[in-house]
Amino acid sequence: MAPRKLAAGNWKMNGNLAALDQIDELRAACPAPACDVLICPPAVLLHPMAARAGDMIAVGGQDCHANAAGAHTGDIAAAQLKDAGATYVILGHSERRADHGETDAQVAAKAAAAHAVGLIAIICVGETEAERDAGSTLDVIGTQLAGSIPAGADAANTVIAYEPVWAIGTGRTPTLDQIAEVHDFMRDRLTGHMAGAGDCSLLYGGSVKPGNAAEIFAIANVDGALVGGASLKAADFAGIVTALDAAN
């Protein structure tokens, strides 16, 4: 097995029922992608999106609770995501770490809950600009990986996304060498943290667009992308899917 190539879109808190037309456009633009294609919409759109997406496009949640059920107003259990048609869930996104104070331990507990119901967890890590400027990027990533990946994680049930916080929604991206350095480091660190670490998909996220996707996908140990803004328009996301299909 080699790492699965994955083009993942994170709609964040964007979109409505009318936006599901994007799914039809994406299917028309990419009728038979070789890579896996995933969209993670707001939870209220999961079920109708799954119904529209068919087999070609997977759908996923953007968060889940660590508990299986219970008195947690406003939260969503992993099993409920699955029931709505999700096969993936994004966990530990920097916006959740910042907005909701999520810790590495909480992310690991959520990932364990996702694994328990058969969801693939996309665990996000990434440094802030201050941390990069201080030269502590690899320390930060190493700590997040060590704390956020639960026991039982393996290449089949876990994807890691490197998303530098300062590159998200800013139009700025790290240099290709900086991306390569972090991805090589992550591949190395995963060995010992999870079974089949060499086969775990490692995504880059942060201002990925059709225009820069090909050069990012050419980097060793980059197996796909986690895309925010450019996933909202089918034509842009299709360009990224096409670039991933063309990458070695």
Ligand X SMILES: O=C(CO)COP(=O)(O)O
For tokens 């201080």, name the residue.
134
Q: Is 221 marked as binding a ligand?
A: no
Q: Which is nearer to ligand X, 159 or 168 (CB)?
A: 168
Q: Is 14 marked as binding a ligand?
A: no
**Would you give the DSSP letter of residue 194?**
B
Q: Is 169 marked as binding a ligand?
A: yes
Min. distance of Cβ 76 from ligand X in angstroms? 18
Q: Is 11 marked as binding a ligand?
A: yes
Q: What is the DSSP string of 52-67?
A: HHTTTEEEEES--BSS
Q: Which is nearer to ligand X, 170 or 191 (CB)?
A: 170
Min. distance of Cβ 159 from ligand X in angstroms? 12
* Interacting residues with ligand X (CB under 6 A): 10, 93, 163, 168-169, 205-208, 226-230
Q: At what angle do helices 210-217 and 234-246 cross, to 10 degrees?
A: 20
Min. distance of Cβ 169 from ligand X in angstroms? 4
| Inter-CA distances, 119 with 1, 66, 108, 127, 191, Å | 19, 13, 14, 26, 22
Q: Is 207 marked as binding a ligand?
A: yes
Q: Which is nearer to ligand X, 61 or 228 (CB)?
A: 228
**How far apart (Å, rounded) are the C-alpha atoms in residues 90 and 78?**
11
Which residues are catalytically annotated?
Answer: 93, 163
Q: Which is nearer to ligand X, 42 or 72 (CB)?
A: 42
Q: Which residues pair with 146 in a beta bridge?
A: none
In the chain, how many H helices and how many E strands? 10, 8
Q: Which is nearer to ligand X, 114 or 188 (CB)?
A: 114
Structure tokens at 219: 């980097």
- With a CB cutoff of 8 Å and minimum separation 6, the contacts of 14 are 42, 232
Q: How far apart are the first and last CA of the chain?
A: 15
Min. distance of Cβ 84 from ligand X in angstroms? 20
- The residue whose Cβ lies closest to ligand X is 228
Q: Are 32 and 38 in contact (CB under 8 A)?
A: no
Q: Is 12 marked as binding a ligand?
A: yes
Min. distance of Cβ 228 from ligand X in angstroms? 2
* Binding-site annotation: residue ranges for substrate: 10-12, 169, 207, 228-229
Binding residues: 10-12, 169, 207, 228-229
